Amino acid sequence: MGEFELIRRHFQRPGVALPGNVPLGIGDDCALLQPAPGFQLAVSTDMLVESRHFFPDVAPQALGHKVLAVNLSDLAAMGARPLGFTLALALPAADEAWLTAFAQGLFALADAHACPLVGGDTTRGPLNICITVLGEVRAGQALRRDAARAGDDLYLSGRTGEARLALELLLGTGWAIAHTPPDALPRLRARLERPVPRLALGQALAGLTHAAIDLSDGLAGDLGHILQASGVGAELALAELPLAPDLQALPEAQRLDCLLNGGDDYELLFSAPPDARAAIEAAARTSQTPVHRVGRIRAEPGLRVLNAAGQPVAFSTRGFDHFK
Ligand SMILES: Nc1ncnc2c1ncn2[C@@H]1O[C@H](COP(=O)(O)OP(=O)(O)OP(=O)(O)O)[C@@H](O)[C@H]1O
Ligand SMILES: Cc1ncc(C[n+]2csc(CCOP(=O)(O)O)c2C)c(N)n1
Ligand SMILES: [Mg+2]
């Protein structure tokens, strides 16, 4: 199978019609996309590299899902609706079975969000997968990191920490193995390998919420990006953070580390003024997404983590950083 045969067989889908806002997809020098009038184009790129973002033995179907999911999560964090995506692939070999399974995982998620593959690039090399997503958001309504204001409530979708616990189990870390239920690995692994992008919630929040970010590097570190961009600080109430049952038996320090420095969560963290509480609840309901109010934005810079008694907890932020 040559390069063009590979693309034709696995990524061009002649039977699948393109939506009206994609007048031209795979096959020319560029794809053409048409955002609706009054909408802005939202663009984001995320790359997954073998042994850095995923283990070499990961199921190709899960990988196809995850590489698109982490990109869609960035659109969700801006309140954007997906229009389409491009796929840049470096593959060590043209492995038919691997490509079939990868494409299955990829297109299952793409189809669920009506987000077509519109182009890409394919080369031989160490396994490396890069997606660029394109979305649209009504002009002026995108959820930006610099929009948090003192007095805002801080909200979290879903819950954090399970992906990190899965990673530690797969790495064979002693504390994780000793304090996790013996049957937990398959469900925790799904949290690491099959994140669910919160697109419906993000779109329901556009125009409603102040700031938002999706959690890829860890709750505390990613919250830090909002705080820095907005020039504010925050309080996080530990007692309000939802705790996954599989994290309950962890020693306190490791539980805190999973919850706040976990990484790979792909939940949304966002801020909104207190008078938006009813609207936020409605957005959570219509998007069928669990949302918890977990803290507050403050004028004083810095992040304070508070225990159930409202006392500060000693805690150091260690967001994921590829060069630290
Ligand atoms: N090589 C690069 N050239 C230009 N801009 C970049 C480059 N790498 C990252 N950026 C930009 O820097 C910002 C932060 O990038 P980062 O990859 O940390 O995004 P993120 O959403 O915080 O995390 P994630 O990649 O996990 O979604 C983004 O605006 C991104 O577009
Ligand atoms: C094998 C393996 N080792 C480590 C991790 C953890 N990890 C890697 S990159 C990243 C942050 C998001 O990436 P980026 O900032 O590049 O978008 C995290 C939490 C993993 N998932 N798999
Ligand atoms: Mg992001």
Q: Which ligand 1 atom is the nearest neighbour of the CA of 222? A: 22
Return mean pLDDT, the chain. Answer: 97
Mutate to test the pocket of ligand 2, among 47, 51, 53 (most ligand atoms within 8 A of CB): 53
Q: What is the dihedral of CA 226, 228, 233, 238, to 10 degrees?
A: 50
Report percent pLDDT > 90 for the chain: 98
Residue 73, both tokens: 């999560």
Residue 1 has pLDDT above 90, yes or no: no
Band (pLDDT 50/70/90 cuts) for residue 200 is very high
Q: Any residues with CB less than 8 A from the CB of 267 and at least 6 apart, and which?
A: 156, 157, 158, 159, 160, 198, 214, 215
- Return the CATH number of the domain spanning residue range 145-306: 3.90.650.10
pLDDT band at 172 (very low <50, low <70, confident <90, very high): very high
Which of the listed residues 72, 75, 216, 267 should we mutate to test ligand 1's pocket, taking the one with most ligand atoms within 8 A of CB? 216
pLDDT for the residue numbered 151: 98
Q: How many CB atoms lie within 10 A of CB 38?
A: 9
Cβ of 264 less than 6 Å from ligand 2: yes
**Ligand 1 center–CA 181 separation, angstroms:** 36
Helix (H) or strand (E) holding 108: helix 96-112
Q: What is the pLDDT of residues 97-133, one digit of tens each?
A: 999 999 999 999 999 999 999 999 999 999 999 999 9
The CA dihedral of 108, 34, 18, 128, to the nearest 10 degrees, is -40
46 lines ligand 2 (CB under 6 A): yes
Strands 117-124 and 128-138: unpaired
Q: Cα–Cα distance between 121 and 85 in angstroms, integer?
A: 12
Q: Which value, in Å, is the radius of gyration of the alpha carbons in the chain?
A: 20
Termini Cα distance of the chain: 41
- Asked whether the predicted pLDDT for residue 271 surpasses 90, the reply is yes
Binding residues for Mg(2+): 29, 44-46, 74, 121, 214, 217
Specify the CATH number of the domain 3-138.
Answer: 3.30.1330.10
* pLDDT tens digits along 228-268: 999 999 999 999 999 999 999 999 999 999 999 999 999 99
CA atoms within 13 A on the CB side of 295: 28
Q: Region 82-103: what's the mean pLDDT?
A: 98
Q: Where are the domains of the chain?
A: 3-138, 145-306
What's the pLDDT score for residue 158?
Answer: 98
- pLDDT score for 259: 98
